[in-house]
A and B are shown apart, each in its own frame.
Chain A
């Protein structure tokens, strides 16, 4: 008789690329992913929900997040405004919903920018080697000697506040991770027979890096990008909370938390809901990322 764990084991052994093509194939991969990692599939759905919340904020939000209502200032949650209102009567729920936009745009852009830069740098550094490699590794080590948040604070101060600045500041703190991991991959691939063969028939270094090594770096790149999304969201929120992120009135989860501190005794709903939004979002991205990591690189399973 087949037990449940047998089926799971069979699933794990079945290759991820069945013969079905196109949409059917995508569907199958998603189903397989969900069967192997039910927990991260669930949190993946949550992540998709949060993404669509950010995308359709104007439709979902019950009110204008910037419109003050002086008749309803600092009201606790009730039937009219589910998450309460802030000190000048703006609807807290709408602000949390709109806040997801900034958080996600900044986190996704920063991680893409930082991880891509770092990965390409690591790729070149690993493949080219020599002095370039030594110098690159030192610079990356210097960058890693700063606590993330402190480096991000200093950079966003130097560049002035704004969305682009925050993206760049967080991106720079993500560079070392890509630089290190992709370099290691490039170093090991460099010695492979097929790379040597390419070199022997006279392919240029650039061609080898772009066509033979880069494709192999996609899996570690995706793993890096998904695992760092959560960190990026938290750094963005911390910058906003400390007043060096995206300035008000644009609502972000971080600057909403900072805004709650302007009252002598903060109102609990102004503290609780934005933070809860951060926590749920980060949880969703982290656990979804774990599933992706397990799928793309089974060797890493259970390392965290």
Chain B
């Protein structure tokens, strides 16, 4: 098991490096004049010497590999640099806005499991029942409905019928739990229910397969209660593909949360990223994109490890 963890972690580190190189290449492809982006109209009035000085100060005139190594060093030491525009420190930005987005993401995953798994289990035990068929229709629908649109509709409906509006400022859970809850529950519910549909489908098909296996028949034959057969014997094996799917879906949560935060007006990390992208603030964008990819890579490593933990056959290979 230790060997497996080490090998998986080594691949993870390689992936993170690859990801950072891709981000760097994409960001430096930026066409047009960086200074014109930063100073707008004023850039044309800068003299050549001023331009050179500013480029120098921002280290933008260094060779690309030096810029890349500087970024890597900054990442390693946690000094993520400052925004072009406001002098905002990127690390502070992440610490201030990050917890909200993390809460939304975690809550979404919890909701997706708590809703999706029971529905999937019932669908598997009673195939073609009303619940099974409505779960199927829901999964097809949720594949087609854009989450951010659903979010906008919910915000509108609440405003229209209940004259309710969620708070608009950053409220952390340790400051005011109730206000914080109102802030995160909407985006988390939309994200979570969207995934619950997939989780339910996957749980259904994998449980249906496992139930047919011999050892489940043995468990029934020795007279165990049906509940125990399902929960203790069949479910652990049926969960494996569901865990993998949940890891893959994490990509939807991370990406989707950006648009959904915008739809709900939640001031999370996703909103910060949109602002930075629109302002073309490459220092912030480059670090935030890296952060999102890093989380995705780590989640997938954890998924693989939990897989090995649930199914010992994996790490003996």
A interface with B by C-beta (< 8 Å)? 138-139, 141-143, 145-151, 153-155, 157-160, 230, 234, 237-238, 241-244, 257, 260-261, 265-266, 268, 271-272, 274-275, 278-280, 282-283, 286-287, 304
| Closest partner residue, chain A, to B149 (CB atom) | A275
Provided the pairs A154-B23, A283-B140, A287-B140 are in contact, do residues A275 and B259 lie with their beta carbons within 8 angstroms?
no
Interface segment among B46-54, B151-159, B229-237, B302-310: the answer is B151-159
Provided the pairs A146-B292, A149-B258, A153-B273 are in contact, do residues A266 and B152 lie with their beta carbons within 8 angstroms?
yes
- In this complex, the member of A138, A145, A155, A274 whose beta carbon has the largest number of chain B beta carbons within 10 angstroms is A145
**Contact between A146 and B19 (Cβ–Cβ < 8 Å)?**
yes
**Contact between A271 and B293 (Cβ–Cβ < 8 Å)?**
no
Partner among B140, B273, B293 whose Cβ is within 8 Å of the Cβ of A286: B140
Q: Confirm or deny: B141 has a beta carbon within 8 angstroms of a beta carbon on chain A.
A: yes
Provided the pairs A146-B289, A150-B292, A279-B149 are in contact, do residues A268 and B258 lie with their beta carbons within 8 angstroms?
no
A260 to B289, CA, bound (A): 27
Q: Confirm or deny: B177 has a beta carbon within 8 angstroms of a beta carbon on chain A.
A: no
Provided the pairs A141-B18, A142-B15, A142-B18 are in contact, do residues A155 and B259 lie with their beta carbons within 8 angstroms?
no
Provided the pairs A257-B152, A271-B153, A272-B153 are in contact, do residues A279 and B277 lie with their beta carbons within 8 angstroms?
no
| Closest partner residue, chain B, to A287 (CB atom) | B140
Q: Confirm or deny: B255 has a beta carbon within 8 angstroms of a beta carbon on chain A.
A: yes
Q: Min CB distance, A201 to chain B, in Å?
A: 39
**Contact between B144 and A286 (Cβ–Cβ < 8 Å)?**
yes
Q: Min CB distance, A186 to chain B, in Å?
A: 23
A142 to B25, CA, bound (A): 13
Q: Min CB distance, A226 to chain B, in Å?
A: 14
Q: Min CB distance, B151 to chain A, in Å?
A: 10
Partner among B29, B145, B254 whose Cβ is within 8 Å of the Cβ of A147: B254
A151 to B32, CA, bound (A): 20
Q: Min CB distance, B128 to chain A, in Å?
A: 13
By a CB distance below 8 angstroms, the chain B residues around A150 are 254-255, 258, 273, 289, 292-293
Provided the pairs A149-B256, A242-B274 are in contact, do residues A275 and B262 lie with their beta carbons within 8 angstroms?
no
**Contact between A147 and B146 (Cβ–Cβ < 8 Å)?**
no
**Told that A142-B18, A283-B144 touch, could you supply 15 new A-B pairs with CB distance under 8 A?**
A139-B18, A142-B22, A143-B22, A145-B15, A145-B300, A146-B293, A148-B255, A154-B289, A230-B144, A242-B259, A244-B277, A268-B160, A275-B153, A279-B144, A287-B140
